[in-house]
Structure 1
Amino acid sequence: MTTIKGLILGSAAGLLAIGGAQAADLPMKAKAVEYVKICSLYGAGFYYIPGTDTCIKLGGAIRIDTALNGNIYDAPQWQGGAPGSQAWSRDFFQTRARFNVNIDTRTATEYGVLRTYGDAKFDWTRGVSGIAGGAPVEVDYAFIQFAGFTFGKSVSMFDPQWALAKPTISSGLNAGSNNATGVPMLAYTASFGNGMSATISLEDAQPYRTAGVVNTSLAFSTASLLTGGAYGPGNFTGNQSGGDHMPDIVGNLRLDQAWGSAFVSAAGHEVHGAYYNGTVDTGRPATTWGYAVSGGFELKNLPTGAGDSFKMEATYAKGAAKYVWGGTLDTSGAGRYFRASGPSAGTLAFGYVLDGVYTGTNAGNGTGIDLSTAWDVSAFYEHYWNPAWRTSVFGNYSQISYGAAGNQALITALSFGGTAAGTGFITPTGGDMKLSTAQVGTRTAWTPVKDLTIAAEFVYSRLNTNLSGTYTNAGGVSGAPAGAVYGLGGQNIYNGGVQISRSF
């Protein structure tokens, strides 16, 4: 009995020893897997970055555009060159493929939400992007928001809340201020509750806000005025604004409600010229300030149908022309509009979008800057036929003028026998340098499935010059012989576009 008991106890001890040895060989208990968690604080699509309290959302889009009888993004062909001349060598259509990606992060802090946002685009545009050079890359938005402040590249605080939600394809619709790719800024927004807020902002005037100034005593270059490529001091030799000296000062007051939104905004814009003789400091016009004011509203869910909306805005500017003459086709430097009825003698309209005009002499004296006056009014209506189909109609009227002194200076410089000897190309018989555009258009969009939209658009534009007389071709009309004579008169322009967009 004692022997049996000893065997049992010995076996038990052996089993315990073996079990202990096996336990020692087992790995430590693994940590729990940390799965990505949905963040519901800021809307759909946000997730917590693992191991942090920061929420992130990844998004983007692919957009395919084809413009017919228009420039990129269905813009009218009215800015010179072969398209503006309607030359046989012009592009009868234009295509662009765009891919963009954006990242939005948000973190709750004791000062409120800390947000960062970035959006980059990769484009392939026929005639611009090359096989060897590849597609251009641009950063549209890159900003940080914290405790009411916005630092970086964002939509201007001058623009309405719906600046990026206009129901159009065309980026050539002159619908007031436009900065679809953002402007660098330092802004502070105060929220008062019930949807009311106010913002003060310092914003970089380049490239969207500086229209440029001209010294009419210096020779104009016909080729750069009428046929130059991208705008800017290097392509428009008449522009004497040079670099920016001060940021624009912008403020707004906004109201956001379930029924829609409303806003008023204002901006101060510094305007300066270069030396009177163009190169040597023998005197210069005094620096001055221009300004712009704007207001508008949006009405949602109209009685005409669920989802229907109506938007309207109006802007007035003195010496700050680009707050009225927006669009995304131009950069800094004095802008020019030019459209001929064809490369054979006929009619043409032309004009400039400038902050101001002055005249100087080599002796170092001259005039101050005569500021331009510009204004516009725009409206957009969109109707949903059903959840998948919607149609919008829209229109705009924009105008710019230069006053008695500015008109006379420009006309003299551009005329045969004017102060810029040998560079004249017009023989005026009346009127002034006032320029205006009127546009109406319609777009129909189909969304067969969520986040996929196929849209088609048609736009009619009228380019009006208020100057009567004739233009003698000095290279401005592509395909026309030198010396061909055109009558000055308004031009009708028709263009359309098709866009396919998939967002995610």
Structure 2
Amino acid sequence: MKVSSLLLGSVAGLISVSVARAAEEVTASDPTEYVKICDVYGSGYFHIPDTETCLRIGGYIRYDVGLGDVRSYDGARTTDVRTGEAQGTWRNNTRFTFKTWTRQETELGALKTYTENRVNFGNRNAYPGPDTPQNYGFNSGVKLTSAWIQLGGLRVGKGHSAFDTFTGYAGNVLNNALVPYGDFDTNVAQYYFDADNGFSALVSLEQGSGVVGTIDSHVPHVVFGVKQTQGWGAITSVIARDSNHDALAGKIRVDVNVTDDLSLFGMFGYGSIGVINDDPTNAIGAHGRGFYKTWSGNWAFWAGSTYTLDEKTSFNLQVSGGQFKNYGVAANVVYTLVAGFTATAEIDYGHYGNFGIGMVDPSNVNWTKADKKDCVGGILSFQRSF
């Protein structure tokens, strides 16, 4: 018994020594590093190892189905290649959007970056789709939506024009440009001032984009904006100078928080024609629209609301119109199936008072590509955000 006990004790001792040494070896050769959370900037941020920079990644996948006459994806209805007649079609698009945010505190203020890239696959109505009569499905390639650097109030890089971002977009509907309210893509050099009492202001030097909108000299487009925000809502105004066409455009917007569940907005835009119609016969001319005054005629309006029915369901509405009797109505219901996954059902109506006028009055040309004066359509959308 004594011999047996001695043998068992020796084996147990050897095992314990071996385990201890193995633990030491694992600890020394395979150190474990944990991701450090940056909750000071909000949820989702974490430290990039060995730096003071905090990173957040996100994005979404969205699948849209468009039906009816209204252009649901910034294009015309398709044309039957056999007859040349316009026809309705099943229009659908899948989009993947990838986003990144970085934040870091410096002696000159917060250093920030933001990037957003989009890839689409859909038929000819998918953005940005080719203007061809065939209804082919295609990949549209990578679209650089945003890529900017900001230090304190100074921001440089690619983004959307301050003419739209400072006032905010025209409601929470998918087809919110039945009456357009401004162009978007541009390189910017802008400065944002926040007084910490609800007042803010902005000045932005912009390049523009497209054949008509890109600056053609050393003089940039310029946008000025001021905003006052309080608990009841906000009032915002912007004015922009289109240096290509020596034209001015402005918008004023009022947001009202009626209750915790109901918010309203109204926005009015006015723009001068300037020299936009110098050459109305030019096929790529502006025809009464510049980079900022994208609506027909001198004035246009947009108004809408968002009502939260419950924690999973909201209702959104937008109405719009302009001087040349172009009108739009869009309404949708957004339902959250599970956290991060929503379904949106929307119906759209467009009335184009300038239908068929085009070359009689170039400032009233039909840029909507609608083939009817009154159009009805809809969109069903599924989006997974992360």
The TM tier, using the shorter chain, reads 0.7 to 0.9
Tell me the residue number matched to 1:244. Answer: 216
Tell whether 2:32 aligns with 1:108: no
Q: 1:131, 1:201 → 2: CA distance?
A: 39
What 5-or-longer segments of structure 2 have no aligned partner?
Answer: 1-16, 277-282, 361-370
Structure 1 residues 269 and 134: alpha-carbon distance in aligned structure 2, compared to 1, 3 A threshold: closer
* Candidates 126, 148, 151, aligned match of 1:146: 151
Tell whether 2:307 aligns with 1:307: no
Count of aligned residue pairs for this structure pair: 333
Checking the alignment, whether the CA contact within 8 Å between 2:60 and 2:98 is kept in structure 1 is yes
Give, in angstroms, the shift of residue 355 of structure 1.
Answer: 4.9
The 5-angstrom pairing of residues 461-476 of structure 1 reads: 461-465=350-354
Tell whether 2:254 aligns with 1:297: yes
Q: 1:131, 1:125 → 2: CA distance?
A: 8
Q: 2:151, 2:181 → 1: CA distance?
A: 29
Give, in angstroms, the shift of residue 164 of structure 1.
Answer: 4.7
Give, in angstroms, the shift of residue 156 of structure 1.
Answer: 1.7
Tell me the residue number matched to 1:96. Answer: 93
Tell whether 2:343 aligns with 1:454: yes
- Give the letter aligned to residue 138 of structure 1: K
Structure 1 residues 355 and 201: alpha-carbon distance in aligned structure 2, compared to 1, 3 A threshold: closer
* Candidates 186, 189, 193, aligned match of 2:189: 186
Structure 1 residues 75 and 133: alpha-carbon distance in aligned structure 2, compared to 1, 3 A threshold: closer
Tell whether 2:307 aligns with 1:383: yes
Structure 1 residues 122 and 320: alpha-carbon distance in aligned structure 2, compared to 1, 3 A threshold: farther
Q: Which moved more, 1:390-399 or 1:114-123?
A: 390-399
Give, in angstroms, the shift of residue 162 of structure 1.
Answer: 6.1
Q: Which moved more, 1:443-452 or 1:255-264?
A: 255-264
- Give the letter aligned to residue 250 of structure 2: V
Checking the alignment, whether the CA contact within 8 Å between 2:67 and 2:91 is kept in structure 1 is yes
Give, in angstroms, the shift of residue 259 of structure 1.
Answer: 3.2
The 5-angstrom pairing of residues 174-323 of structure 1 reads: 174-179=179-184, 182-207=185-210, 210=213, 244-245=216-217, 246-271=219-244, 289-300=246-257, 302-303=258-259, 306-319=260-273
- Corresponding residue SS for 2:66: strand
Structure 1 residues 251 and 243: alpha-carbon distance in aligned structure 2, compared to 1, 3 A threshold: closer
Q: 1:202, 1:188 → 2: CA distance?
A: 9
Identity score, percent: 23
- Corresponding residue SS for 2:39: coil
Give, in angstroms, the shift of residue 152 of structure 1.
Answer: 0.7
Tell whether 2:82 aligns with 1:158: no
Structure 1 residues 42 and 307: alpha-carbon distance in aligned structure 2, compared to 1, 3 A threshold: farther
- Corresponding residue SS for 1:163: coil
What 5-or-longer segments of structure 1 have no aligned partner?
Answer: 1-18, 211-241, 273-288, 323-331, 336-351, 357-371, 400-434, 472-488
Structure 1 residues 502 and 449: alpha-carbon distance in aligned structure 2, compared to 1, 3 A threshold: same
Give, in angstroms, the shift of residue 319 of structure 1.
Answer: 2.8
Tell me the residue number matched to 1:40. Answer: 39
Give, in angstroms, the shift of residue 63 of structure 1.
Answer: 0.6
Deviations 1:278-312 (A, max 9, x none): xxxxxxxxxxx111111102223x23xx3321111
Q: 1:132, 1:96 → 2: CA distance?
A: 9
Checking the alignment, whether the CA contact within 8 Å between 1:203 and 1:249 is kept in structure 2 is yes
Deviations 1:157-196 (A, max 9, x none): 22254635721111542152242xx421000112212121
Superposition CA RMSD, Å: 3.6
- Corresponding residue SS for 2:120: strand
Give, in angstroms, the shift of residue 204 of structure 1.
Answer: 1.2
- Give the letter aligned to residue 199 of structure 1: L
Deviations 1:213-241 (A, max 9, x none): xxxxxxxxxxxxxxxxxxxxxxxxxxxxx
Checking the alignment, whether the CA contact within 8 Å between 1:248 and 1:267 is kept in structure 2 is yes
- Give the letter aligned to residue 384 of structure 2: R
Q: 1:186, 1:98 → 2: CA distance?
A: 29
Q: 2:319, 2:356 → 1: CA distance?
A: 24
- Corresponding residue SS for 1:168: coil
- Corresponding residue SS for 1:265: strand
Tell whether 2:374 aligns with 1:499: no
- Corresponding residue SS for 1:465: coil
Tell me the residue number matched to 1:345. Answer: none
Deviations 1:82-124 (A, max 9, x none): 39xx964535221100001011001011111100111111110
Give, in angstroms, the shift of residue 438 of structure 1.
Answer: 0.9
Q: TM-score of the superposition, structure 1-length normalised?
A: 0.59
Checking the alignment, whether the CA contact within 8 Å between 2:186 and 2:206 is kept in structure 1 is yes
Structure 1 residues 355 and 156: alpha-carbon distance in aligned structure 2, compared to 1, 3 A threshold: closer
Give, in angstroms, the shift of residue 354 of structure 1.
Answer: 3.7
Structure 1 residues 396 and 97: alpha-carbon distance in aligned structure 2, compared to 1, 3 A threshold: same
Q: 2:85, 2:137 → 1: CA distance?
A: 27
Q: TM-score of the superposition, structure 2-length normalised?
A: 0.75
- Corresponding residue SS for 1:158: helix
Structure 1 residues 462 and 133: alpha-carbon distance in aligned structure 2, compared to 1, 3 A threshold: closer
Give, in angstroms, the shift of residue 384 of structure 1.
Answer: 1.5
Structure 1 residues 131 and 290: alpha-carbon distance in aligned structure 2, compared to 1, 3 A threshold: closer
Tell me the residue number matched to 1:119. Answer: 116
